[in-house]
Amino acid sequence: MADGGGWIGKYGVPSLILSAAVFAFQQQQQIFDRRQNNVESGYQFYSEQRTSLHYAGDVESELSLLRIVGRAFPSIYCDVRQDLYNRAYEAEDRTGLADTTGRTPIDAADIEILQNALNEPQYDRPAEAQYPRNVIENFTLTRARACDPLGEQEQQVAENGAAQQSPAATTEAAPAPSASEAAETAPGGQARPRIAVRSSAPTTTPATAPTLAAAPTLMRVFMHVPLGGVREAGIQDMTDTARSELASSNFRVMRGVERIAPRNFPREPTIRYFGPEQEDEARALAEYLNYQYRNEDLHFSLVAIGDRYPNMPPNNIEVWIPNPRGGAPAQ
């Protein structure tokens, strides 16, 4: 009996500890995979379902979409809420513009209603709890975290932009800036300042197909093309190719492609990333794309946008590919 008890003490307890550790690791991995899949599916769902904010009915459609995101994709809810607020800020009063759909064009009052609604407490957090971040949270009830306040970032962004204006800093406005980057008048009549964008040195085109070093953390890559342009025809093939080739380097190219109104699209190919800590990954991706589009002589510039969009996840990278200058993609 004593020998048996000694055997359990010597071998049984370590075995139980090892089994528990393996179980915890497997649970943690399942949590991570589930959350990542939810994030990817959520961004794709949102990009496919969001409206153009051209009509009065789009206001309620967008709020309904936000509520759906809060229930189905709570991990991205705050980012979607902020994006919707930014889009409402950028929306234009379409009163009097020609339209053949029979729907009521959106006006300044509708835009203000949308912005005010987003500031109501009911849209402060998702309807459901966030996906757990660790094993302990997986077995406990977690409350959905409140989102950052809306509308307060404009003043901070302007101050950050002004602080960056120095002889040693290279700043320039993004080509063909979207409404979020240009000086505008908000629905309430208050002028919005133009924000200077920090741009780094030009990227190069490698002589041979580059092999990207593995990024230290998973980087999510979102493709953007002009809506209704010729670039739409082949972008999905390009996205699938990049998704396959970059996966081993820790770049996760999202399947959904953002289609942006041409008036809000930059004239030059651009890669937008959060800040200095992500610049190496952004530059490596730019050189990969420069090589892929070498027949069109495209050179992707790098633009850090974390100061303008502080709620942007740091490991997100946006790729903006304008329509070819000749009207059709080079072969």
Q: Delimit the domains of the chain by residue range.
A: 2-138, 153-320
Mean pLDDT across the chain: 74
Sequence-distant (6+) residues with CB within 8 A of 325 are 296
CB 47 within 8 A of CB 83: no
Q: How many CB atoms lie within 10 A of CB 103?
A: 12
pLDDT on residue 3: 55
For residue 66, the model assigns a pLDDT of 93
In this prediction the pTM is: 0.46
> Measured between alpha carbons, how far is 331 from 110 in angstroms, rounded to an integer?
45
Most confident of the following: 7-21, 150-164, 310-324: 310-324
| pLDDT higher than threshold 80 for residue 144 | no
Question: How far is the CA of 161 from the CAs of 34, 170, 199, in angstroms?
Answer: 38, 12, 12
On the question of pLDDT at 152 being above 70, the answer is: no
- Higher pLDDT pick, 45 / 325: 45
Tell me the three state secondary structure of residue 92. Answer: coil
User: Does the structure show a pLDDT above 50 at 198?
Assistant: no
**In this model, does residue 5 exceed pLDDT 80?**
no
Higher pLDDT, 186 or 214: 214
Query: Which sign does the torsion angle of CA 191, 314, 287, 289 carry?
Result: negative
Residue 95: the pLDDT is: 79
The radius of gyration of the chain from alpha carbons, rounded to an integer in Å, stands at 24
Q: Is the pLDDT of residue 281 over 80?
A: yes
DSSP secondary structure letters along 34-72: HHHHHHHHHHHHHHHH---S-BTHHHHHHHHHHHHHHHH
Distances (CA, A) of 301 to 39, 59, 306: 27, 35, 16
Segment 63-95, tens digit of pLDDT: 999 999 988 888 888 889 988 988 887 888 887
- The fraction of the chain above a pLDDT of 90, given in percent, is 17
pLDDT at residue 142 greater than cutoff 90: no
Q: What are phi and psi of 287, to 5 degrees?
A: -65, -35
Strands (E), the chain: 171-172, 184-185, 191-192, 197-199, 219-226, 251-260, 270-273, 301-304, 316-320
Average pLDDT over residues 8-20: 59
User: In terms of Cα–Cα distance, which of 231, 248, 233 is closest to 319?
Assistant: 231
Specify the higher pLDDT residue, 150 or 56: 56
Segment among 153-157, 294-298, 313-317 with least mean pLDDT: 153-157
Using CA atoms of 61, 62, 64, 70 in order, give the dihedral in degrees to the nearest 10.
160
Q: Has residue 180 got a pLDDT over 90?
A: no
Average pLDDT of 101-129? 82
pLDDT exceeds cutoff 90 at 273:
yes
Q: Find the mean pLDDT for residues 311-330.
A: 79
pLDDT at 172: 36
pLDDT at 319: 94
- Enumerate residues 6+ apart whose C-beta is below 8 A from 168: none
55-64, 142-151, 218-227, 291-300: lowest mean pLDDT where? 142-151
